[in-house]
Every structure is written in structure tokens, then in C-alpha cells.
Amino acid sequence: MKVFHTVAGLRESLNKDRREGLRVGFVPTMGNLHDGHLALIKQAAESNDIVVCSIFVNALQFGLNEDWDKYPRTYETDCEKLRNAGCNYLFHPDDIEMYPNGLDTQSRVICPTMTDVLCGASRPGHFEGVTTVVSKLFNIVQPDEAIFGIKDYQQLAVIRRMAEDLCLAVQITSAPIHREADGLAMSSRNSYITAEERPLVTVLKDSLEWIAAEIKAGNRRFDALENTAAARIVAAGFKVDYITLCNSKTLDLAADDDLEITVLGAMFTQAARLIDNLSITL
């Protein structure tokens, strides 16, 4: 695996690959890699000749009271995992390389839809930071395909919309949620969960599955379903951010006649914010 810390170095190598007709797949990450990330790398390798992974903890998508400075940084371990997973190139820039003119004057990419609800409602400015850094990374790597985990369902939807709106020549591909043995969605923030909380956090997934089963059985009282699921999470000792039923494509609130519905949830442990989702087709 070749490691690049500069835009120029990575571009030079990728340009040579493209002249040879090689197809480039891309997996952007913030590091602290787990098996879910490695599954994305392996999926990218199945449909591409060259797999590029980026590790960059993007300050632009963190709020004032969020954990940018505490976000786990495990670079050496990440490199070893990427080598074993078959990654060809790692792009690991610093803040100056990514934002040479500083964050305050950085040009921004704004998606005006789907960004002020769900995670966007509780994390103002988050998706502006995501779309800005992802568009920069797309311009740097110029991949044929980019792989994103479906665990961050709203992020995936926003990036797809951005790519469509800006006519970006990249195929956006989703990957299934990678889960722990007990069903908890894998996340870099799972390390923040305390030993006492750990047996209880699957209440989020269990609540979303309960809602899905109710809808498939014909229950269309969406508000009541959301409220009951939220109460279950509170009873388990956690704080609810949201439990929401949405149209799978638009992320508008689910309507009675929607045939594709995604149930999305987010909750807070003492030190972690966990998200999950489940899509159903009726």
C-alpha cells in the first residue's frame, strides 16, 4: 500500500493508473477503522482495479460541542488493517493540505434539501461540512466509484443528491450495515460506550425492527409508533435524539401511501451518539 500525504502526490500516481485504463474505487473515512470500513474496502476491490482510502478527521463537520479533538486517531493500526484488506493507496492529508486557506474562508458546498432534519437538526452545519469535504475528496481522487456505508443513511442520501446536482462523474454505491455479534451497528464511537451501557444499547436496533414489523402488519399510526419506540429507549436509560419514519428516497416524513419507508433512529449514551436505520418495501 502506498501512502500519500499531499494532493499532488496522489494525483500523479492516479493519473498514471488512469492512462493504463485502470478503474479507481474510493472509500473516504475518518480513520479508527473497524470491520465495517474494511468491508467497504473489500467491496470496492471487487469492482475496481485500484482502491483508494482516505483518512481525514474533518473539523468542518463537527459542531462546537462535538468531539473533534477527542475523536479516536489510530493511524498505525489503521494502516495495518488497510494493507491486510487489500487497499492500494491511502490518502492521509493534514488540515493545511485539505484547507490551505483556512476553514473560515473555505468555499462551501451546500445541499439545500435533506440536511436540516434528522441528524442535521441536532448537528447544525454538519452536512455542509460533509458535502464540502466529500466534494473536495472527489475532485482530488476523481474516482469511478465511491462506496459509502448505509448506516449513515442520511449522509448517503445527501451525497447522492450532491453528486446528481453537480453532475459529478462518480458512481455512488451503498454497502450494508456491518454489525457486532449482538446486532449493534459498528461505529468508531462505539468505543465510548461504557461496560454498563453495552448490553442495553441494542434497544435502538430492536426498536426500529419493532416499528418495521408493525408497519408490515398494517399499522400506519406512524406518530404512535415513533412515540412508543422512543419510550422504550428512554426506559432503557438513554436519551432519544429522534425516531422518525421517512420516505426512503426524499427523507420527507413517511406518508400513508408510501411503499418504500426507512425507519431512522439516533440516541445518546453517556458519551456516544449512536445511529441506525432499517428500510422496508411494502
Catalytic hit among 37, 92, 126, 178: 37
C-alpha closest to that of 269 among 206, 204, 181: 204
Backbone angles phi, psi at 50, to 5 degrees: -125, 130
Q: Which three cell numbers stand for residue 166?
A: 453537480
Q: Which three cell numbers stand for residue 80?
A: 495495518
| Cβ-Cβ contacts under 8 Å for 197 (sequence gap 6 or more) | 237, 238, 269, 270
H/E segment holding residue 169: none
User: 3-class DSSP state for residue 97?
Assistant: helix
Q: Which three cell numbers stand for residue 19?
A: 492512462
Catalytic-residue membership of 5: no
Exposed e or buried b per residue across 66-93, where buried means at least 16 C-beta atoms within 10 angstroms of its C-beta: eeeeebbeeeeebbebbeebebbbbbbb
Residue 154 near residue 120, CB atoms below 8 Å: yes
Q: Which three cell numbers stand for residue 164?
A: 446528481
Q: Which three cell numbers stand for residue 112?
A: 439545500
**Total Cβ atoms within 10 A of residue 19:** 8
User: 3-class DSSP state for residue 227?
Assistant: helix
Residues 137 and 148: their CA atoms lie apart, in Å, by 13
Which residues form the catalytic set?
37
